[in-house]
């Protein structure tokens, strides 16, 4: 059974076509790396899946439901969590408050009016802290965290949501090598229970984590398969790996 299916997705701004008849299928408990040169449409694809932008045509099916064109919060409630390319955390709030907001089991404004705690929050917090290691920073404002810590906090926020599918846009940008190794370990653990789509440029990191690599070019699917296959693919080398001198 396919878990996330993107069918013939198209997105154009005026006359510029950004996503062009893009289709993929993702099975459960896999980690798919989305790679491609700048402007290939990776972030736009994430925007379309999470509802930030509406597709011009095409369908997005998540767990047998058509989620095309739903609002961001409706898609998030169905279990799709997202981490942004530029880390987006609530800078005025403490690390703990950031994680509390992200623990979004109950989302109705009026029901939350005089609710002071969320059941199960403490356990989930301990779990996420043991993964992200922000325990010592709980009561400081998120605005004064370092870049690496901010990345961890946002990953922690996505984990608090308990999503079935995680979309992560360049999660290791600005991290040190040991932090990248730690992230790879977390992701490899996560894919036992969740599915992940990771946009990444760092090919070494991709090799560490990817079950499947999807290569996008000019808004379309260029190639898909295990990393070894992708690295051997002539066309991929031409448009992407060749350009960056990696491989």
Residues of this chain that bind another protein (CB under 8 A): 50, 52, 71-73, 76-77, 81-82, 84, 88-93, 96-98, 100-102, 104, 106-110, 112-118, 121-122, 125-126, 129, 135-136, 138-139, 157, 161
In 3D, which of 234, 235, 180, 178 has the Cα closest to residue 203? 180
CB of 209 to another protein, least distance (A): 22
Between residues 3 and 121, which has the closer beta carbon with respect to another protein? 121
CB of 15 to another protein, least distance (A): 25
User: Do 199 and 216 form a contact (C-beta atoms < 8 A)?
Assistant: no
Q: What does the DSSP assignment read for 180-231?
A: HHHHHHHHHHHTTTSEEEEE---HHHHHHH-SEEEEEETTEEEEEE-HHHHH
CB of 49 to another protein, least distance (A): 11
CB of 115 to another protein, least distance (A): 5
CB of 199 to another protein, least distance (A): 15
Between residues 162 and 220, which has the closer beta carbon with respect to another protein? 162
Q: What does the DSSP assignment read for 46-70?
A: HHHHHTSS--SEEEEEETTEE-TT-
CA distances from 225 to 209, 229, 236 (A): 14, 6, 12
Between residues 100 and 179, which has the closer beta carbon with respect to another protein? 100
Between residues 122 and 247, which has the closer beta carbon with respect to another protein? 122
Between residues 52 and 182, which has the closer beta carbon with respect to another protein? 52
CB of 46 to another protein, least distance (A): 10
CA distances from 22 to 42, 137, 170 (A): 11, 42, 21
Between residues 35 and 76, which has the closer beta carbon with respect to another protein? 76
Between residues 152 and 240, which has the closer beta carbon with respect to another protein? 152
Tokens of 37: 């040169």
Cross-strand pairs, 39: none
How many residues does the structure list for the chain? 247
Tokens of 74: 């409706």
Say what angle helices 147-160 and 95-102 make with each other, to 10 degrees: 30
Percent helix, percent strand, percent coil in the chain, to nearest 5: 40, 25, 35
CB of 148 to another protein, least distance (A): 19
């Amino acid at each position: 059974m396919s878990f996330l299916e993107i069918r013939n997705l198209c997105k154009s701004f005026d006359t510029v076509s950004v996503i062009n008849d893009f289709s993929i299928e993702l099975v459960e408990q896999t980690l798919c790396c989305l790679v491609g040169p700048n402007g290939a449409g990776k972030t736009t694809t994430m925007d379309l899946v999470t509802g930030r932008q509406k597709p011009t045509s095409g369908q997005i099916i998540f767990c047998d439901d058509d989620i095309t064109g739903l609002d961001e919060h409706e898609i998030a409630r169905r279990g799709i969590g997202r981490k942004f390319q530029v880390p987006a955390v609530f800078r005025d709030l403490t690390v703990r408050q950031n994680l509390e907001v992200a623990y979004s089991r109950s989302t109705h404004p009026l029901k939350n009016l005089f609710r002071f705690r969320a059941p199960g929050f403490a356990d989930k917090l301990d779990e996420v802290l043991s993964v992200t290691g922000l325990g010592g920073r709980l009561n400081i404002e998120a605005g004064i965290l370092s870049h690496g810590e901010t990345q961890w906090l946002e990953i922690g926020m996505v984990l608090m949501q308990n999503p079935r599918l995680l979309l992560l846009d360049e999660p290791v940008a600005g991290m040190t090598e040991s932090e990248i190794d730690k992230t790879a370990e977390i992701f490899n653990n996560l894919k036992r229970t969740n599915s992940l789509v990771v946009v990444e440029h760092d090919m070494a990191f991709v090799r560490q984590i990817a079950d499947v690599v999807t290569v996008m070019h000019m808004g379309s699917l260029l190639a898909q398969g295990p990393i070894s296959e992708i690295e051997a693919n002539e066309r991929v080398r031409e448009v992407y790996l060749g350009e960056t001198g990696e491989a």
